[in-house]
Amino acid sequence: MRGEYSTHQKRELLKFLKERNMQHFSVDDVVFEMQDRGEKIGRSTVYRYLELLAEQGTVRKYTGVQGVTQYQHVEDDSQCDEHFHMMCSKCGDLLHVDCKLMHTLCRHMMEDHGFQLDPRETILVGVCARCRAGGEGMDHGADHA
């Protein structure tokens, strides 16, 4: 059965995940961070373990900018039904929105449109306050005039 053994790579990856709880990252982020730490871990292993954790529910997968998969460790996702995620199309940052209006929206979509919204999968897209202010990340997007 998969995920049975406790190995060095798994422990290191779990450490990384806990340090970055609720943050989003790509497989490359993991690989390079591990390299910097002097830890040896293969790309396939990262893919495979993150996939396993995603199936178990402690990690979420999103398709981010340019089709690159973003992962996010979620220690306790009981609260996540209550809020949404926003992604900045400029800098790629993933943010959380804790807000009563989200709950209202969910109920409304169901009652008036028959659509059962999934807050875990839905990502609101737009531009974050920092990028609107002309801050960082302005070198990314703008792929449509």
Partner DNA sequence: TTGCGTGCAAAGGTTTTGCATGGCA
Partner DNA sequence: TGCCATGCAAAACCTTTGCACGCAA
Which CA distances in Å does 25 have to 1, 8, 105? 27, 21, 28
If contact means CB under 5 to 8 A according to the sort of partner, which of a second copy, DNA, none does residue 47 touch? DNA
Which among 80, 74, 56 has a CA at the least distance from the CA of 17? 74
* Window 46 to 65, contacts with a second copy (CB under 8 A): 54-57, 61, 63
Cβ nearer to DNA, comparing 40 with 108: 40
Q: How far apart are CA 17 and CA 19, in angstroms?
A: 5
For residue 27, which phi and psi values (nearest 5 degrees)?
-60, -40
Q: Which stretch binds a second copy (CB under 8 A): 2-10, 42-50, 73-81, 107-115?
A: 107-115
What does DSSP say about strands 69-73 and 24-25: parallel, antiparallel, or unpaired? antiparallel
Residue number, 39 or 93, with CB nearest to DNA: 39
Question: Is 48 a binder of DNA (CB under 7 A)?
Answer: yes
28 binds DNA (CB under 7 A): yes
Phi then psi for residue 68, to 5 deg, are -85, 125
Q: 134 φ, ψ to 5°? A: 80, 20
Residue 132 lies near DNA (rule: CB under 7 A):
no
Residue ranges that bind a second copy, judged by CB under 8 A: 54-57, 61, 63, 66-67, 69, 86, 88-89, 95, 97, 99, 101, 104-105, 108-109, 112-118, 121-129, 132, 144-145
